[in-house]
Amino acid sequence: MSSAAKYDLTEGSVSRHLVRMTIPMIWGIMALISFQLVDAYYISRLGTLQLASISYTFPVTYGIFSIFIGFGVAASSVISRMIGEKRTEDMKRVASHSLLIVLIVSIVIGLLGLVLIEPIFNAVGAKPEELELIKSFMVPYLLATFFVSMPIVGNATLRASGDAVAPAIIMTAAAILNALINPVLIFGLFGVPRMELMGAAIGTIFANIVAMIAVLILMHKRGIIDFAHIQNLINFKDSMKRILVIALPVGITGLLPAILGSVVNHLLSKTGPEAVAAYGAAGRMEAFLLIILMALSIGMGPIIGQNWGAGKLDRVKETVKYAISFSVIWSVTTALFISFFAHPIARIFSNDPAVRENLVLYLVIVPMTYFLGNLSHGWGSTFNAIGKPQISAGMIFLKMIVLCIPAVFIGHAMGGVTGIFIAIATVNCVTGAAYHLWAWRGLGRKWVPVARSTS
């Protein structure tokens, strides 16, 4: 049995595969989140100016991260389907070429970032003294974009082959290394020069270089990549088309939540900073609660991809059914918990009575619609996995931009903060129910895999 076929997801219990693919991703996602948390914690010890400066960089680094998440989703989708189709050589070609594509895109993004670094951060209000500190972090980060992005795509490729444990271990090890080396470089411990924000960037880069080496070794050892394909570049145009047709819409739609969040914050700011603070606290809490559903959506992708490629539609539908069922159960359970303990939760996040009041308001309105709103995660992963990202992108764009932005403006005009939260909840209900009914019917009729030569 070849290494690429070792983790066959087209046979055996679907529910066991879901558990095996999801659980490692939970700690893997937490490891990724820890990179920025660790940087923020150590840099906060340098002073308010340094913490404010690193805070300006988070949206930019998140944007870069979102772009390469798109490439990871694309690689996972194409490769998992080729594994299901038993097209081993084509799988090796696309996997190998995906590394070269990521290198090219990384260089372009890095160079653009270096050219635009001052206009970008001046536009968001960074002061001159903050800009110098921002540059000390962003310049090395942009120069090393490939080393930060390659593990994202490489780990996605390993998951596509059916292995979720190795990527999680690699991400966790990199996070631990980052946490250990960053204070040494930031504060100048053990005789190392004190580098402050530059030290945080170098520490992150070094941890990702180690992760990249580990990923490349595993990919080569398991026969997922063949460097001969990088040398001869045969059918590189085909590989690039397959990757970009998924990576671009996924990467772009990954930025849509930030756009919606900015609009909501703008409207809430008219009421006062307390409402903005409450919405921000709710967002951080939701991000934590969504880790399990994010892990599930990532874990189900390779299962769906391999079985779609193998033409086993019954197993695809079974995977979606299990994932959607768990999503609903998890969402209802967390919503009931949040609503019941809304006041104690609000006290954890703030001592300001006005912030608490607005946060409680959010917690008793929006979470009750999680069970419908969160369906987009599972269906988005499904469409990306079967090579139809335009459907997933359209769903997210319609929900967040076409429907939710006008809805929150109307809600604000009619009911202020309460109206905004009701608008968000209403859009969750309408889009969640409509998407699920439409997508479930289409999965058995419109999108049956009829030709293995298509994307």
Note the pLDDT of residue 291.
84
Contact 345, 363 (CB under 8 A): yes
**121: pLDDT confidence band, cut at 50, 70 and 90?**
confident
Domain boundaries in the chain? 14-254, 259-445
Q: What is the mean pLDDT of the chain?
A: 87
**422: pLDDT confidence band, cut at 50, 70 and 90?**
very high
d(CA 441, CA 436): 8
**445: pLDDT confidence band, cut at 50, 70 and 90?**
low
73 half-sphere exposure, CB direction, 13 A CA radius: 33
Is residue 120 pLDDT above 90, yes or no?
Answer: no
Is residue 409 pLDDT above 80, yes or no?
Answer: yes
Is residue 319 pLDDT above 90, yes or no?
Answer: yes
Q: Tell me the mean pLDDT in the region 91-109.
A: 93
DSSP code for 400: I
**122: pLDDT confidence band, cut at 50, 70 and 90?**
confident
Contact 150, 66 (CB under 8 A): no
Q: Helices (DSSP H) in 310-388: which residue ranges?
A: 313-340, 342-349, 353-365, 370-373, 375-385
Cα–Cα distance list, 263 to 254, 350, 392, 405, 422 (Å): 16, 23, 22, 7, 15
Mean pLDDT is lowest, of 101-115, 131-145, 194-208, 372-386, for: 372-386
Burial class (CB in 10 A: 0-12, 13-18, 19+), 416: middle
Q: Nearest 5 degrees, angle CA 435-CA 438-CA 439? A: 75
**406: pLDDT confidence band, cut at 50, 70 and 90?**
very high
Q: Show Cβ contacts of residue 221 under 8 Å, excluding neighbours closer than 6 positions.
A: 3
Mean pLDDT is lowest, of 71-85, 235-249, 258-272, 349-363, for: 258-272
Which backbone phi and psi does 339 adopt, to 5 degrees?
A: -65, -40
**254: pLDDT confidence band, cut at 50, 70 and 90?**
confident
Q: Show Cβ contacts of residue 231 under 8 Å, excluding neighbours closer than 6 positions.
A: none
Note the pLDDT of residue 446.
54
User: How do residues 136-187 score in pLDDT, each as one tens digit?
Assistant: 999 999 999 999 999 999 999 999 988 889 999 999 999 999 999 999 999 9
% of the chain surpassing 90 pLDDT: 44
User: Which residue type occupies 159?
Assistant: R
Is residue 448 pLDDT above 80, yes or no?
Answer: no
d(CA 428, CA 62): 24
Higher pLDDT, 129 or 442: 129
Q: Helices (DSSP H) in 188-255: which residue ranges?
A: 196-221, 227-232, 236-253
User: How do residues 59-71 score in pLDDT, each as one tens digit?
Assistant: 788 788 888 888 9
